[in-house]
Amino acid sequence: MRSALETPVRVRFAPSPTGYPHLGNIRTALFNWLFARHHGGKFILRIEDTDSARKVEGTVEAIMESLQWLGLNWDEGPYFQSQRLAIYHEITRSLLEKRHVYLCYCSPQRLETMRQEQARRKQPPKYDRHCRDLTEEERSRLETTGVSSVVRFKMPLEGETTFCDLIHGSVTFRHDTLDDFILLKSDGYPTYHLANVIDDHLMAVSHVLRADEWLSSVPRHVLLYRALDWQPPQFAHLPIILGPDRTRLSKRHGATAITEYQRQGYLPDAMTNFLALLGWSLDDRTELLSRDELTKHFSLERVGKTAAVFNRDKLDWMNGVYLRQLSLDEFVQQAMPFLDRDLPESVKRPLDKSFVSGVLSLIQERARTLAEVPQLTSFFFADELQYDARLLLGGKLETKPAVQAITAASKRLAEVEAWDAAVLEAILRPLASELGLSTGKLFGLLRVAVTGCTAAPPLFQTMAVLGREKCLQRLNTAVEVLSAHSD
């Protein structure tokens, strides 16, 4: 095996466009990217699109957009395996000439009957090598009938293959547990096993970092490398990602396409930090790491063998931290598209950036995602609020004293000249004592009256941003709502 010290580091991310990239895919891409950047190597993007029947339209674009969003820039590619068929055919012919592989003419019906019989006997499903030792005469006869064929690899019938995985250590597979796997399908397209071995060799890939599920494929690949007289790369199989209940990660846990996290308002740096800690750690305590710090410290020695557990609450917390680290101008710039997208159509566009800046200065500490920003701020932009008297009273006040309190506050506020938070507080705080109310009751009443919410940013700063006209208008509306309620 080659080591990182003996050859330039070259890694690849090789997704199949059969579905939109999800957390596991992109975590694999990130680990490859970090490994390459840490060692000053190359990160290659290769699209393994040989399964045309399962290809999903738009997924290639989604893969590249996801990598670009996270800043995982590739140095070479994208290469497309569907454009490299001549290479796979040429190398397959050389394997046929050397008798490392053979043509298999078994029909789908025969293979299905074979599998059913194996299941009946409680045997593992495995090709029975029916075509492995056909004579030339038998092959010629089958060829003349026009029956289609696939190319299968001749696995050794006994012995074992041992290889070193950089995460799992020494791994051994017995040959009698493996069947003669297909390299080239009847439609002329290669299987994963053939195409990825050929491409990894021709692209001088030094390290293959991929998901744990491919670990059982390595003995096949090692034997294929030997048949081709090529040196295998080093292998590192990454732990799978489980849901909080320790079952396989699924949509109910949040395993949606990575583009959905972008749509939900997660920052790429927060997403990168979070994904890096799914299976890798710097130590037992450090949670927040910049991209530069991740690149500096990343090593396969710190990748765990056991499954990583996805925790949406941790992602939300981490994203909130990254949002708070933005300057106000950066936060406004990031949030504007979400406000444009999600605020009601009745809100006039374009949004006033100065007003938006004042609004967002009050909620930056509370937001966990950018998609939450419109929810947290919608009352700032609404022309009218919709609430009922029960929300205003909050179970703490009777209607008459509530009307008196809002009316008194409105009268005082109408006389204010300098409309800022400090002045508003200086006026309204003493009013609570004059009305015989606690500040909590009065301020809670006024908060609902001007925002329509029981939980909102600090009252006086909120009123300062809303402005005199809107605050007085909403206080008058609150009185009307309460008066109608008393009737």
User: Distance between CA atoms of 282 and 297, rounded to whole angstroms?
Assistant: 7
Give the number of other Cβ atoms within 10 Å of residue 298's Cβ. Answer: 23
What is the SS3 string spanning 360-383? HHHHCCCCCCHHHHHHHHHHHHCC
Give the β-pairing of 101-104 and 150-153.
antiparallel
Q: What are residue 10's DSSP bridge partners?
A: 42
Q: How far apart are CA 205 and CA 44, in angstroms?
A: 9
**Adjacent-strand bridge partners of 241:** 308
- Number of Cβ within a 10 Å radius of residue 135: 8
Closest CA to 215 of 305, 128, 89, 139: 305
CB within 8 Å of 404: residues ≥ 6 apart: 435
DSSP 280: B
The residue among 28, 57, 58 whose CA lies nearest residue 45 is: 28
> CB of 310 within 8 A of CB of 253?
yes
- CB-based contact 409:431 (threshold 8 Å): yes
Q: Which two tokens stand for residue 428?
A: 């309204």
Burial (CB < 10 A; 0-12, 13-18, 19+), residue 465, is buried
**Structure-token pair, residue 51:** 């399964």
**Amino acid (one-letter) located at 100:** H
What backbone phi and psi angles, to 5 degrees, belong to 310? -75, 135
Parallel, antiparallel or unpaired: strands 10-13 and 42-47: parallel
Q: Tokens 């932009």 label which residue? A: 381
Query: What does DSSP assign to residue 39?
Result: T
Name the catalytic one among 251, 305, 348, 353.
Answer: 251
CA atoms within 13 A on the CB side of 458: 13
User: How many residues belong to the chain?
Assistant: 487
Burial of 468 (0-12, 13-18, 19+ CB in 10 A): middle
154 has catalytic annotation: no
Q: What is the set of active-site residues?
A: 251
